[in-house]
Amino acid sequence: MRDFDLLLPETVAEVSGLLARLGEDCRMIAGGTALLLALRQRMVTPTHLISLAGVRALRGITYDPRDGLRIGALTTHAAVARSPLVRQHYPVLADMASRLANPQVRNQGTIGGNLCYADPTTDPPSCLAALDARLALGSARGERLLPVAAFLVDYYACALAPDEVLTDIRLPPPRFDFGHHARFHRTAAEHRPLINLALVARREGDVVEEARLVVGATTVVPTRVMEAEAFLAGRVVTPALAREAADIVASAIDPVSDGRGSAAYRRDMVRVVARRTIERLMAPTTPDRAAERAIA
Ligand SMILES: Cc1cc2nc3c(=O)[nH]c(=O)nc-3n(C[C@H](O)[C@H](O)[C@H](O)COP(=O)(O)OP(=O)(O)OC[C@H]3O[C@@H](n4cnc5c(N)ncnc54)[C@H](O)[C@@H]3O)c2cc1C
């Protein structure tokens, strides 16, 4: 690892000013779980690291019934999983965060670092996209909000401008009574998902009124499958209907092909994960209590 100067700004405007001044010579660091690996392997060789740890505006989780949830970008995955506000209002998000990676990464890695690194094989993007999250990007020029789909643009590429920092993640007030984030690994030894799929839905009795379904980790950026959402809307889910909907999901995505799995294998497994997840909609309308399990 090369030597670097550590900079300790306290405001978003200061971070933005440093980014604008130092350009490619600097990198922001939050938990460091992704960046330190890149530094050690000399994939990046900045002369300056900008620590985000002292920027108070990036911290905290707040909830307002009219505005919804705000999660500061510096919030660790473990803090998302443990937050009573997240567990009460968005249990699917708490559940996803409680199962991601391993305890070390959950306690050190931040939700903001996860999104900004834009590694395709991660869990929060599909879950946040299903929940219709907006990402707040701050700079000395002001603030702009982007949906997850506009923020994540390619392999390890996101829509941050050179002088911007992700300040927080905003979720609209909850309107779904069902939520499930499924992860599929090829072997039990793997931490990262080969496939994940987030499904949230609002039901009236047995009828699905509205659904949002997003496939992640196996496509370059999370893929929302609106054809499957439209197919499910207004229907009562049966095993046969879940199979049909899963076929729609599997045909709609464009999976990657790499050493962890061919595109054909991934498509087949997405079909299985989608069917099993959609079948969960057959259970009676009750809040998803999965997040109340013990959290590491
Ligand atoms: C062994 C291992 C297993 C993992 N398994 C999983 C998994 O199963 N599921 C999963 O979802 N993830 C997984 N991850 C990824 C993990 O979630 C991320 O590494 C972590 O969330 C990154 O956050 P960080 O705070 O450590 O980011 P850092 O390493 O500090 O930063 C990562 C990048 O984001 C930039 N950045 C950080 N914060 C901001 C910000 N606020 N604004 C702008 N840019 C910013 C940095 O400049 C850097 O380029 C795994 C990681 C490891 C090491």
Q: Give 66-102 pLDDT, tens digit per residue.
A: 999 999 999 999 999 999 999 999 999 999 999 999 9
Indicate the helix (H) or strand (E) that contains 72: strand 68-72
Minimum-distance ligand 1 atom for the alpha carbon of 36: 29
Q: Tell me: the pLDDT tens digits for 133-181?
A: 999 999 999 999 999 999 999 999 999 999 999 999 999 999 999 999 9
* pLDDT for the residue 285: 56
* pLDDT for the residue 291: 41
Minimum-distance ligand 1 atom for the alpha carbon of 119: 15
* pLDDT for the residue 296: 36
To test the pocket of ligand 1, the residue of 107, 111, 155, 192 to mutate (highest count of ligand atoms within 8 Å of its CB) is: 192
Angle, CA of 36, 73 and 21, to the nearest 5°: 65
Indicate if ligand 1 lies below 6 Å from the C-beta of 174.
no
Mean pLDDT of 35-57: 96
Indicate if ligand 1 lies below 6 Å from the C-beta of 110.
yes
Q: How confident is the model at residue 186 (pLDDT cuts 50, 70, 90)?
A: confident
Mean pLDDT of the chain: 94
Mean pLDDT of 234-262: 96
* pLDDT for the residue 289: 44
Mean pLDDT of 30-54: 96
Distance from residue 136's CA to the centre of ligand 1 (Å):
17
% of the chain at pLDDT higher than 70: 96
* pLDDT for the residue 295: 39
To test the pocket of ligand 1, the residue of 1, 19, 114 to mutate (highest count of ligand atoms within 8 Å of its CB) is: 114
Indicate if ligand 1 lies below 6 Å from the C-beta of 101.
yes
% of the chain at pLDDT higher than 90: 92
Mean pLDDT of 8-36: 97
Determine how β-strand 61-64 pairs with β-strand 26-29.
unpaired
Indicate if ligand 1 lies below 6 Å from the C-beta of 123.
yes
Domains and CATH numbers, the chain: 5-51 (3.30.43.10), 56-171 (3.30.465.10), 178-282 (3.30.390.50)
* pLDDT for the residue 292: 40
Residue 12 or 190, more confident: 12
Indicate if ligand 1 lies below 6 Å from the C-beta of 128.
no
To test the pocket of ligand 1, the residue of 110, 128, 139 to mutate (highest count of ligand atoms within 8 Å of its CB) is: 110
Distance from residue 38's CA to the centre of ligand 1 (Å):
11
Measure the CA–CA gap between 113 and 166, rounded to whole angstroms.
9
Q: Tell me: the pLDDT tens digits for 266-283?
A: 999 999 999 999 999 998
Residue 190 has pLDDT above 90, yes or no: no
Q: Which of 144, 145, 106, 137 is nearest to 122 (CA)?
A: 106
Q: Which of 242, 240, 196, 203 is nearest to 219 (CA)?
A: 196
Minimum-distance ligand 1 atom for the alpha carbon of 44: 49
Measure the CA–CA gap between 37 and 32, rounded to whole angstroms.
8
* pLDDT for the residue 294: 35
Mean pLDDT of 15-23: 97
Distance from residue 281's CA to the centre of ligand 1 (Å):
32
Distance from residue 32's CA to the centre of ligand 1 (Å):
7
Indicate if ligand 1 lies below 6 Å from the C-beta of 248.
no
Residue 287 has pLDDT above 50, yes or no: no
Residue 288 has pLDDT above 70, yes or no: no
* pLDDT for the residue 154: 97
pTM here is 0.95
